[in-house]
Structure 1
Amino acid sequence: MGIQLSKGQRIDLTKSNPNLVKGVIGLGWDTNRYHGGGSFDLDASAFLADENGKCLYDEDFIFYNHLAHASGSVVHTGDNRTGEGDGDDEQLIVDFSKIPSHVHRIGITVTIHDAENRSQNFGQVSNAFVRLVNDHDGEELLRYDLGEDFSIETAVVVCELYRHGHEWKFNAIGSGFSGGLAALCQNYGLEV
């Protein structure tokens, strides 16, 4: 088992793991018992941003309708609409050797699809986590459990991968947003 992180902790990825070329970012969650009539559909996304935290191009936003960056640096493995079962509910694969030079940060987020219409929020989500696994050998390098700090939020910036010189680091963020995917897109400089 890898290193367990807490909110706000940062850790080196590529310097201390020189064989890390591809990382699998696994995200998982459970939903609390809820009788609102609609099922939960949580969605993972990645925002490939510049040094100012803004996406320069629409193509730098990876989500269920745009599964792969043209560079091959970030690939979403597909939308899980139920979150049923144990383990990762959705995954993003990051190939550090292919990340374009204009990308300095990769924000990893989770949103609740159609949350407002379904009266859903992250206060109804439990056991949320992100983990990073070395694709080469399957070793889990780190894990960050988000805890139960959310109430009305409909989107969460779970973590960020960021460039530090020639190396990449991981920042456990766990910051909630109201306004869902639209709010996140605006945060990263994209028009909705």
Structure 2
Amino acid sequence: MALTLSKNQTISLEKTAGATLTKVSMGLGWDPVKKGGFLGKLLGGGGGDIDLDASCLILDADKQALDIVWFKQLKSKDGSINHSGDNRTGEGDGDDETIHVNLAGLPSAAKYLVFTVNSFTGQTFDQVENAYCRIVNGSNKNELARFNLAEKGRHTGVLMAYMTRSGSDWNLTTLGIVASGRNVTDLVADAARVITA
């Protein structure tokens, strides 16, 4: 059974999986806030599409960016990380965007993987509900951990979680830190600052 994590919680992914992990996926999901009734329509309609973008920053031990996987670059330069593609609505069940990571194929310099979500169109998280990220074992598709983000606000970005290489294991730390910026390139400095491992 998957763990439900709270903010600033760290777990060993290998211990959680009960085996060595070679591949994981980070799924991110969200829904547009549903506004109903006559008053809701007067104040902005019945919700509408929400275009959030999941991204992954690959950082070295000095917290310098080695690469970025996002909607403008769906594959890392070395091919070890792949993005499922841009979801522009947030509608439907399950993950809206997924980032697949071949842990065994990452360059040796990669120490941290930081997962973010941004509103490229500038919609704020006041217009988003049911936002979460989850980590899945890429070998058997078992969900290892889930982090639900309930925080609303006028922000346009969230640093969701990061993974830290620890020998052959990887630790997952949940964040849920709000940020400004419409894409992941606006969050590079913030990502380096929040890593404590």
User: Which of 73-82 and 173-182 deviates more?
Assistant: 173-182
**Runs (5+) with no aligned partner, structure 1:** none
Identical pairs, percent: 39
CA distance, structure 1, for counterparts of residue 174 and residue 146 of structure 2: 9
Give 1:1-192 correspondences, 5 Å limit. 1-17=1-17, 18-33=19-34, 35=44, 39-56=49-66, 60-115=67-122, 120-147=123-150, 149-181=151-183, 182-187=185-190
Q: TM-score, normalised by structure 2?
A: 0.84
How far 1:53 sits from its partner (Å)?
2.4
**Runs (5+) with no aligned partner, structure 2:** 36-43, 193-197
Deviations 1:89-110 (A, max 9, x none): 0000011101111111100000
Deviations 1:147-187 (A, max 9, x none): 2x231110111010111233211001111102322521443
Query: SS at the partner of 2:7?
Result: coil
Contact 2:32 2:48 in 1 (8 A): no
Contact 2:157 2:181 in 1 (8 A): yes
Any runs of at least 4 consecutive aligned residues in structure 1 with deviations exceeding 4 A, and if so which?
Answer: none
* AA partner of residue 129 (structure 1): Y
Contact 1:134 1:140 in 2 (8 A): yes
CA distance, structure 1, for counterparts of residue 189 and residue 34 of structure 2: 31
CA distance, structure 1, for counterparts of residue 32 and residue 101 of structure 2: 27
How far 1:54 sits from its partner (Å)?
2.3
Deviations 1:102-133 (A, max 9, x none): 11110000001120xxxx21122111111111
CA distance, structure 1, for counterparts of residue 159 and residue 171 of structure 2: 16
How far 1:29 sits from its partner (Å)?
0.6
How far 1:15 sits from its partner (Å)?
4.7
How far 1:28 sits from its partner (Å)?
0.3
Contact 1:150 1:176 in 2 (8 A): no
CA distance, structure 1, for counterparts of residue 155 and residue 60 of structure 2: 25
How far 1:188 sits from its partner (Å)?
5.1
How far 1:62 sits from its partner (Å)?
0.4
